[in-house]
Amino acid sequence: MLIKFERALDSLKKGNLVAIPTETVYGLAGRIDLELTLRRIFETKKRPFFDPLIVHVGNIEQVEDIFFEITNDQKKLMDKFWPGPLTIVAPKRRIISDLITADLDTVGVRMPNHGLTLRLINELKVPLAAPSANMFKKTSPTTPEHVLMNFKDSIEVLDGGNCKIGIESTVLEIKKNKIHIYRLGQVSIEQIKETLPDHKIVISKKIKSPGALEDHYQPSIPFYLIEKKSDLKHLKNKTGQELILDKSAAISARILYKNLIDLSNLGVDYIYFNKKNIPDDPDWFAVKDRLLKAATKI
């Protein structure tokens, strides 16, 4: 059910789950100080407990209660990119639930760039754990209608319109003079280098972040990445629809998940996309990552 701000605030105060809008994707949110609420996030999404959650804050003071300490390097990133699509992973305070962090001693935190959700967190006075509002490994929703489809109207959705960025946040952790990137997003490697030029960038596959698994973001029907039409010859008796993206990486990111979900509901048997349509350019790395993980293996 679509709800307005006051209803969303009241539901969260009571420990219920609410799907919230952000600039990246819609999140399935619950307050971080209630263990039963955190368990409901995993149960509702059918998400394994080894996959950590990202905490969403409304102000820097809330981060001080979550991170063991805020370093100068982290503060530079916060000043540059918050509110926005950057998640920072750092050692946590003991009060932070192990459910959030998958028993790790670190926690990922970001400040979403959406006025409605920032107001919600600040009036609630409690940060929110908010993974994407979908079933585990499935395509993330970027519209309120897609959230309703995912949960068959059983989850309240704070209607904040369509998401402006459309893919999940960049996730990183700073360790001494190295920046470990666990997930690529709209904040690019180049932007991070510009902010912390004395640090070395390391691309990591450790599961310290959602989206680190090889299979993720998958639509409800098979999705094939191809190089030529003959790659689909084994599907000659089935109907397919081509995924079309924009020449702009930013616009393609914004429409990627929406297009995958919409094509899945056309009644065709599969979706396909020609890999040659993705430029070998750093601006496209995050979109390419999502395509690779969403794809059905041929």
- Tens of pLDDT, residue by residue over 228-276, are 988 998 898 899 999 999 999 999 999 999 999 999 999 999 999 999 9
Token pair for 69: 């300490």
Q: Radius of gyration of the chain from Cα atoms?
A: 19
User: Please, what are the domains in the chain?
Assistant: 2-203 (3.90.870.10), 223-294 (no CATH)
pLDDT digit string, tens, across residues 101-135: 999 999 999 999 999 999 999 999 999 999 999 99
**How many CB atoms neighbour CB 289 within 10 A?**
18
- How many Cβ atoms are within 10 Å of 2's Cβ, its own excluded? 14
Phi, psi torsion values for 18, nearest 5 degrees: -140, 135
The DSSP bridge partners found for residue 20 are: 27
Residues 124, 18 contacting (CB under 8 angstroms): no
- Rounded to whole angstroms, how far apart are CA atoms 29 and 41? 8
The average pLDDT across 35-60 equals 96
In angstroms, the CA 286 to CA 16 distance is: 32
- Is pTM beyond 0.85? Reply is yes
Residue 207: pLDDT band (50, 70, 90) is low
Query: Does 209 score more than 60 pLDDT?
Result: no
- Confidence at residue 211, expressed as pLDDT on a 0 to 100 scale: 52
